[in-house]
Chain A
């Protein structure tokens, strides 16, 4: 009897976190639509979303600036959270994340290179460039740090990532110093932001990110096996090479799409998986969806804070997340520090 009760209560608890998260996602999204230099009430919001009038300025403001921004923040947050989660599973390193491993820097470098070489920078070219850069960085980090397998230790991977970041930054800086006009046009990418990106520019990336998020679903089980160790996974009949390839592809898609939409946003991919695992079970089918939700909520919160903290100005979103995320990273290192000696 008591066992049943226990089971019931775990099952109930199991749904509490996702339920609350969905609820808070809805809440935060609506706050994100309402908040800003001008505060809109709920009635106005409802009106703007479902029965907009083309002449009403408030409706227009909500639909053309706040809505794209909110959608973008939610999708980027979810993508980064999931990308970080996959990365941590794949490398079996709790400190892995796209930003720390140089993916952002790689994407930025290619964008900067395109911006300084080609004069103007169209949205499509920038998007594509960010992808190429992200893929390049992931490939480099992977080949440098993982060739001996994940047992090589967390330090090698992170150092490789830090080094790649330094490298790409150095190149970007060089290009920007030579072509100083380019600096103004890419500062947005350097700082990371979801502001002022109309949906007409970003919709392909939005859809791509959503598709990539869905494409994670068939692999969830295999990630569980991989988390138990590569040897175990091979023994259980998982084709590890294929799984790794699929994971890397997904990471590139998710992280690349995120960077191309919002620029350099740090630390979301690092923090979110940890929160998700704490709120849920070690089963990927449970915590990875949570990671998507938490990522979305977190980035939305960060964006709301970014645009309300210092009116009329704005703190860049990437700076905001780094200010919160870096201390978290250090805390994580301290916690784990004893074990790694």
Chain B
């Protein structure tokens, strides 16, 4: 089989490198297996045959469990993980730094501050329905402020990251203040949210999140080639004819939207945005569409499995997925730092 195939449709043409796509296919098989695992394991474990039976009969007892409880929750975890991973990939590409992620840029802390403010000030009147909107708004606002502060005749990746760290500290302080000053029951529910969980995910949440993500992906499609170019030196990019600042802004905004949406429904799950792109890069070293798809698969798998561990391993406790993502992600991250030093 030829290494590279060309796809031509009228004026549209594209070179396709086949090799990485086999690995991507394998990765999605892994995603499928993880999904099946998440659907069949739980308080009432199902054999593969029982799972099939349950899937084909949505109104039976096990069918209800799978269709109404496990499937939406697992899908929510997968969507959240995939979105965070993609956001991390975009940011790492734009910042030219393998350590950039929604967490370091203030996206997560913006969403957290907004969510905790919502918990302690508004939740009593409005219920939890508007929480995702508040969180996503907080994330976008944080990125906007970081970008505005870092702007000095253009934005450099270094200044963006530093401003992100500064704003994160500020927002964390505000979050802490809200946590300390609100009643203890509010503090607890806010704290669980901060750790990140997809507990009680239902179909309407899945629906809304997937619509949001689909829109973001559509917006991303024309920008992908610039994301790939963003890793190139500024001067070179300008020479090729890229409007560097505009592209940087657009890509950062897109990353913020993705992470904001994910955090809005999944809580502040840390480390996925950092870890998944690295896993993907390990498997598909050349930046491109295959790497992006791989990143999404990696993020989805990690969060799904973390949620699975959280709800099965410590029965009857149902622990937030964020704990286990951090438990895998943190050592991974340390390893990454050490390797980067060498």
**Residues of chain A whose beta carbon lies under 8 Å from any beta carbon of chain B:** 95, 99-100, 140, 143-145, 147-148, 154-156, 158-160, 162-163, 166-167, 169-171, 173-174, 176-178, 180, 183-184, 187, 190-191, 266-267, 313, 315-316, 318-319, 322-323, 325-327, 329-330, 333-334, 337-338, 340-341
Is B149 at the interface (CB under 8 A from chain A)?
A: yes
Partner of B270 from A170, A178, A183 at Cβ < 8 Å? A170
CA distance A158 to B161 in the complex (A): 9
The answer to whether B195 touches A174 (Cβ under 8 A) is yes
Find out whether the CB atom of A144 lies under 8 angstroms from the CB atom of B173: no
Flag whether B131 is at the interface (Cβ < 8 A): no
A-contacting residues, B2-41, CB 8 Å: none
| New contact pairs (11) apart from A322-B173, A323-B173, A333-B162, CB-CB < 8 Å | A162-B104, A166-B103, A167-B330, A169-B270, A180-B188, A183-B188, A191-B177, A322-B169, A330-B149, A334-B152, A338-B152
Binary contact readout B195-209 vs A (1 if CB under 8 angstroms, 0 otherwise): 100000000000000
Chain B's nearest CB lies how many Å from the CB of A90? 17
Do A333 and B326 touch across chains, with their CB atoms under 8 A apart? no
Q: How distant is the Cα of A177 from the Cα of B192 in the complex, in angstroms?
A: 6
Binding site for A on B (CB under 8 A): 97, 99, 103-104, 149-150, 152, 156, 158-159, 161-163, 165-170, 172-174, 176-177, 179-181, 184, 187-188, 191-192, 194-195, 270-271, 317, 319-320, 322-323, 326-327, 329-330, 333-334, 337-338, 340-341
Chain A residues within 8 Å of B322, by CB: 170, 173-174
The smallest C-beta distance from B327 to any residue of chain A, in angstroms, reads 7
- Contact in complex: B162, A313 (CB < 8 Å): no
The residue of chain A having its C-beta at the shortest distance from the C-beta of B172 within the complex is A322
**Interchain CB contact under 8 A, B165 and A158:** yes
Which of B149, B150, B158, B329 is the most central at the interface, judged by chain A CB atoms within 10 Å of its CB?
A: B158
Contact: A144 with B180, CB < 8 Å?
A: no
Q: Which of A177, A315, A338 has the most CB of B within 10 A?
A: A177
Q: A147-B341, A163-B337, A337-B156 given as contacts; is B326 within 8 A of A183 (CB)? A: no
Collect the chain A residues with CB atoms within 8 Å of residue B158's CB.
Answer: 155, 337, 340-341
Which of B180, B187, B195, B322 counts the most A-chain CB atoms under 10 A from its CB? B180
Question: Secondary structure of the B side of the interface?
Answer: helix
Secondary structure of the A side of the interface?
Answer: helix
Residues of A within 8 A of B194 (CB): 173
Measured between C-beta atoms, what is the minimum distance from B163 to chain A in Å?
Answer: 6
Q: B329 — which chain A residues lie within 8 A by C-beta?
A: 170
Judging by beta carbons under 8 Å apart, are B191 and A337 in contact? no
Asked if B341 and A145 sit within 8 Å, CB to CB, the answer is yes
Cα A143 to Cα B318 in complex, Å, equals 37
Q: Which residues from chain A contact B334 at a C-beta distance below 8 Å?
A: 140, 144, 167
Q: Across the interface, which residues of A come within 8 angstroms of B169, CB to CB? A: 99-100, 266-267, 322, 325-326, 329
Distance between Cα atoms of A174 and B271 in the complex (Å): 14
CB atoms of B167 and A326 under 8 A apart: yes
Q: With A170-B271, A173-B194 as given contacts, are A159 and B326 in contact (CB-CB < 8 Å)? A: no
Complex Cα gap A225–B139 (Å): 45
B330 touching A171 by the CB < 8 A rule?
yes
Look across to chain B and name the residue whose beta carbon is closest to the beta carbon of A315.
B177
Interface pair A167/B191, CB less than 8 Å apart: no
In the complex, A116 Cα to B174 Cα: how many Å? 25
Asked whether B170 lies within 8 Å of A322 as measured between CB atoms, the reply is yes
Q: Closest 8 CB pairs between A and B?
A: A322-B173, A170-B326, A326-B170, A174-B323, A319-B177, A167-B330, A330-B166, A329-B166
Residues of A close to B337: CB separation below 8 A: 144-145, 160, 163
Shortest C-beta distance, A165 to chain B (Å), equals 9
Closest partner residue, chain B, to A326 (CB atom): B170
Roughly how many angstroms separate A198 CA and B309 CA in the complex, as a whole number?
43
Within the complex, the shortest CB–CB distance from B10 to chain A, in Å, comes to 43
Inter-subunit contact B150/A337 (CB<8 Å)? yes
